[in-house]
Amino acid sequence: MIVVMKPEAPQEAVDEVVKIIKDIGYTPHLLAGEIQTVIAAVGDGREKSRIESMESLKHVEKVVPILKPYKLTSRETTPADSIIKVRDVEIGGKHIAVMAGPCSVEGEDQIIGVAKSVKEAGANILRGGAFKPRTSPYSFQGMAEDGLKLLEKARNETGLPIVTEVLNPRDLELICKYTDIVQIGARNMQNFSLLKEVGLIDKPILLKRGLANTIDEWLMSAEYILAGGNRQVILCERGIRTFETATRNTLDLSAVPVVKSKTHLPVIIDPSHGTGYWQYVGDLAKAAVAVGADGLMIEVHNQPEIAFSDGAQSLKPKKFATLMDELRPIAKAVGRTI
């Protein structure tokens, strides 16, 4: 349920409503706006009538049921688009954020060199994996804390915030020590223990869609994070598994307008994992901008032919710079900047 306070409601009235919601056994979530305060009362529905009766309170304007199973993620609770701030970068606003960098951190020269190249081309966030989820246990698993330290060094030299993936709740504290955005990868989208843990931290979370998950399942995973208290969630469409074998995955560009109609959270596109081949990344990045994505995540490697992971889908720095130039007029055409 959503309790909408009257515009003139004093703080004491808001506190009273919060207390009543807690006494009923629901969890209150304040969604303060510029004009009035909205309080989402999240619970199991057994005391619905008691929530509805709060309409009789002097400073309550109305009580509205939340119809979607995802309560805090829904536009029903937050009609306006959410903007996630990462240092001096905004995700979800007029400017399209671009996260770029290698799949894996492989060494100091590699990560710092790529970081400098993507920044010069116009990227505003550096991506790089220190812990890697691999299909084979014999594949490169990442440099762990040594990789995080190199990401930190690259940030210090370029000023780019960094995003990196967490695989295990036990590594979360370590990763938070270094990173600006914590990524939940596709394979962990429904790792509910991990989702609950990142819901308790004060860092933006990049939540990738699972390999074979519906949009509603994706939004329910986001709900776990928001329900834990962390409202800084960025959704990332990275392709889903279908019968098609010409590409690594099938990039679901229709997810952008669908998700934006359902949630206030920003959504970005990862055309690198979405296709698996660098030749297709540029065209789908352009399509993502045209369809309304709030950002892009693109893999860039200075020597993709010898990359430890995902070299086939990585752009070289010069190709990435060319793509950035090609994206700008498309962004302008849809009222955005890049």
Question: What Rg value do the Cα atoms of the chain yield, rounded?
Answer: 21
pLDDT at 139 over 80: no
pLDDT at 141 over 80: no
Report which residue type is found at 200: L
In this prediction, residue 270 carries a pLDDT of: 98
What is the per-residue pLDDT across 169-196, written as a single tens digit (0 to 9) for each?
999 999 999 999 999 999 999 999 999 9
**Which residue carries 């014999």 as its tokens?**
138
Of the candidates 235, 92, 86, the residue with the CA atom closest to the CA atom of residue 163:
86
Of the candidates 263, 204, 196, 267, the residue with the CA atom closest to the CA atom of residue 238:
267
SS3 assignment for 51-118: HHHHHHCCCEEEEECCCCCCCCCECCCCCCCCCEEECCEEECCCECEEEEECCECCCHHHHHHHHHHH
pLDDT at 134 over 80: no
What is the per-residue pLDDT across 93-128, written as a single tens digit (0 to 9) for each?
999 999 999 999 999 999 999 999 999 999 999 999
Q: Give the burial string for 82-109 (b: 16+ CB within 10 Å, else e).
A: bebebeebbbbbebbbbbbbbbbbbeee
Dist. CA 226–CA 209, nearest whole Å: 16
What is the per-residue pLDDT across 21-74, written as a single tens digit (0 to 9) for each?
999 988 888 886 667 788 988 887 777 888 889 899 999 998 988 888 899 999
Dist. CA 298–CA 280, nearest whole Å: 12
In this prediction, residue 75 carries a pLDDT of: 92
In DSSP notation, 165-195 reads: E---GGGHHHHHHH-SEEEE-GGGTT-HHHH
Dist. CA 202–CA 239, nearest whole Å: 28
Pair of tokens at residue 308:
């430890």
How open is the CA angle 234-236-242, to the nearest 5 degrees?
155
Residues 155 and 112 sit within 8 Å (Cβ to Cβ): no
What domains, with CATH codes, occur in the chain?
A: 2-64 (3.30.70.1140), 84-333 (3.20.20.70)
Angstrom distances, CA of residue 276 to CA of 47, 225, 280: 49, 29, 8
**Which residue carries 């989820």 as its tokens?**
133
Residues 263 and 227 sit within 8 Å (Cβ to Cβ): no
| Higher-confidence position of 6 and 43 | 6
In this prediction, residue 138 carries a pLDDT of: 65
In this prediction, residue 214 carries a pLDDT of: 97
Handedness of CA 291, 284, 110, 103 (dihedral sign): positive
Dist. CA 140–CA 155, nearest whole Å: 23
Angstrom distances, CA of residue 247 to CA of 70, 135, 196: 32, 17, 33
Report which DSSP code applies to 47.
T
